[in-house]
Amino acid sequence: MKILGVGSGAREHAIAKKLSLSIYNPKIYWIGENKNPGIVRICMKSGGEFIQGSTTDPEVVSSTAKRFNVDFVFIGPEEPNFHAVPDHLERLKIPCIGANRSVALIEMSKAEMRRLQWEYDIPGKLLFQTFKSAEEAYLVLEKYADSLTWLQNVALKPARQAGGKGVKVVEDRQIYLHEEKQKFKSKHVSWLEGYMRGYGDIEDKILVEENVWGPEYTLQCFTDGTTVLGMPMVQDNKNAHEFDIGTETGGMGSISGPGMCLPFLTIREYEDSIRIIGKMVSAIQDKTGKRYHGVVAGQMMLTEVEGPTIIEMYSRLGDPEALNVLHTLKTDLVEVCLAIIDERLSKIRLEFEDKAVVVKAIAPKGYPDNRSLAIGHPVAVDEAKVSEIGCELFWASCNLHEDGRITTAGSRLVEILAEGETLPVASAQIEKAIPYVKLTDGWGLFHRSDIGSEALLKRREELAERVRRLYLYRVEKGTVGKRVDWLPGVGKVDPVSILKNGLRR
């Protein structure tokens, strides 16, 4: 068997490793923008090859698949899905684990995702409105926030998938009155507009959503369009620094287990979340007439208004979340892929080891806001020592050169994984491995020591408990998902109907 993988981060390193362990003993071929040393090694060991090339050009990916005559292609990141790589492969009759462009819209456009959720009345919704520019969004906020209370506490996001970055929560309308905050606002407006200028592929530019609070989690599932099989819940930690401080990143580390739930969430919340994701898959297929083959994930939050609530959808595995679930997956990943391709996923028993798993990313300073500073630093990693300590290292954003040197490529450099009886044990294990990752030119690296620690888990548990108490009270009173607002001179109104008629009256 021959498989072609797409993408070059730590998620893809983890996918390559899992595929290579299959009883099918496949030859692993890979295409990625950066030469990931971990994936290169796996390809060579299996008798395959690593090709450095574009992952978003459908022609490049499909000609590579044809050149090696592979049995199927496994797409790691979201951008190839957004660029219709799976669609192109499908036309050439090359099986692919990857959401085609139409269904991947639930990730690419956060606005379309929300519209779909409202249209099909899928639980876990948030009030939202879209705008053509950030300036227009701020103007509407200023105009209506006096009369519509949900507008007084909102999240402003780029309407296109931005790798978890760029969300600005406007909790306080007084933001407009203070000079300092005005400056902050303008900075955010230009960032949002600059970001969206890079993408002509969707109409909505800015999404304003009611702001919610609660513990976040990612629920990743395999789907063949009919069956949706859930993996263990994972919590990603997006802020750059300890105790959720600092800019949002693609993810500084993740926790999962033991078991299918996170320690601060319940089995009922897991089951409700799976149902929501299943409904999203059915809805997008119904809307587009296309089958969903691959991975679908809900990046979710337990909220007071709706319980399990969708924040974003992924049309692929998360990074670092993929590392957690693939580490404990007992079922042969190639078997799962073949079952997706043949649409017989309902016959597969997806099994996972009952372990706690922690992943921590190590990134060069400069990431994520000044990436140019984080590029080109020479790397020295003592992989033997990391594994002697009982951890596993996955290469992420870096480049392997012809002469064997490895340099940083601007994002997370490596992700280190450890398993344990408990999350704090696994977290402490990783700390022992951190000193064995270095940059030899003296440039700094950073990571979050708190991921999986007792202290952070306690905070998550307290937060979940507070939200759950309020949510269960709503369940008891029959007010789940209900919001009441008021307008001067009108009185009590249903913000949902206002939302449908638009805010710009």
Q: Which residues bind ligand GLY (CB under 6 A)?
A: 163-164, 236, 250-251, 318-319, 321
Instruction: Give every strand in the sheet of 96-97, ordered side by side.
Output: 50-52, 27-32, 2-6, 72-75, 96-97
- DSSP structure class, residue 26: P
Rg over CA atoms, the chain: 22
Q: Taking the CB of residue 227, how many other CB atoms lie within 10 A of it?
A: 19
Cis peptide before 320 (omega within 30 of 0): yes
Closest separation in Å from C-beta 317 to ligand GLY: 8
d(CA 375, CA 397): 9
Q: Which of 307, 236, 296, 304 is nearest to 270 (CA)?
A: 307
Residue closer to ligand GLY, measured from CB, 236 or 485: 236
Rounded to the nearest 10 degrees, how much is the dihedral formed by the CA atoms of 444, 445, 451, 452? -120
Residue closer to ligand GLY, measured from CB, 162 or 445: 162
Closest separation in Å from C-beta 199 to ligand GLY: 16
Residue closer to ligand GLY, measured from CB, 248 or 383: 248
What residues contact 169, with CB distance under 8 A and at least 6 apart?
153, 154, 155, 156, 211
Instruction: Give every strand in the sheet of 154-158, ordered side by side.
Output: 128-131, 206-210, 154-158, 168-170
Residue closer to ligand GLY, measured from CB, 129 or 324: 324
d(CA 304, CA 288): 32
What residues contact 253, with CB distance under 8 A and at least 6 apart?
236, 237, 320, 358, 359, 360, 361, 415, 447, 448, 451, 452
Closest separation in Å from C-beta 236 to ligand GLY: 4
Closest separation in Å from C-beta 107 to ligand GLY: 9
Closest separation in Å from C-beta 136 to ligand GLY: 27
Residue closer to ligand GLY, measured from CB, 102 or 220: 220
Closest separation in Å from C-beta 69 to ligand GLY: 31
Residue closer to ligand GLY, measured from CB, 86 or 164: 164
Residue closer to ligand GLY, measured from CB, 269 or 321: 321
What residues contact 60, with CB distance under 8 A and at least 6 apart?
31, 53, 54
Closest separation in Å from C-beta 269 to ligand GLY: 20
